[in-house]
Amino acid sequence: MPLTTDVLIQELAFDTVPTGSTLALKVRRLTATLGGPWLETMCRLGLAAAAGKSPVGLSYVASRFLPDGAELTFKAGEGFMSLSPTLRLEVAGEGPGKVRVKVAEIRSAMPVEKIVGPFLDKLIERLCARPGIQAHPTEPRAVLVSMNAILEGRGVTFDEDGRWEVSGRDGVLTVQV
In this prediction, residue 104 has a pLDDT band, given cuts at 50, 70 and 90, of: very high
Residue 4, pLDDT score: 67
- Domains in the chain: how many in total? 1
Whether residue 1 lies inside any domain: the answer is no
Whether residue 122 lies inside any domain: the answer is yes
Whether residue 2 lies inside any domain: the answer is no
Residue 91, pLDDT score: 92
When pLDDT is averaged across residues 13-20 and rounded to a whole number, the result is 88
Q: How many angstroms separate the CA atoms of 163 and 166, rounded?
A: 10
Q: How many angstroms separate the CA atoms of 49 and 127, rounded?
A: 11
Residue 2, pLDDT score: 60
When pLDDT is averaged across residues 4-29 and rounded to a whole number, the result is 86
101 three-class SS: strand
Residue 103, pLDDT score: 92
Q: Between 169 and 62, where is the model more confident? A: 62
DSSP-derived pairing of the beta strands 142-146 and 156-158 = unpaired
Mean residue pLDDT of the chain comes to 85
Residue 1, pLDDT score: 54
The predicted model scores a pTM of 0.83
Tens digits of per-residue pLDDT, 119-173? 788 888 888 888 889 999 999 899 999 888 888 777 788 887 778 888 888 788 8
Q: How many angstroms separate the CA atoms of 10 and 1, rounded?
A: 16
Q: Where are the beta strands (DSSP E) in the chain?
A: 7-19, 22-34, 58-66, 69-76, 86-93, 98-107, 133-135, 142-146, 156-158, 165-169, 172-176
Whether residue 72 lies inside any domain: the answer is yes
Whether residue 142 lies inside any domain: the answer is yes
- Domain with 75, as residue range(s), is 7-176
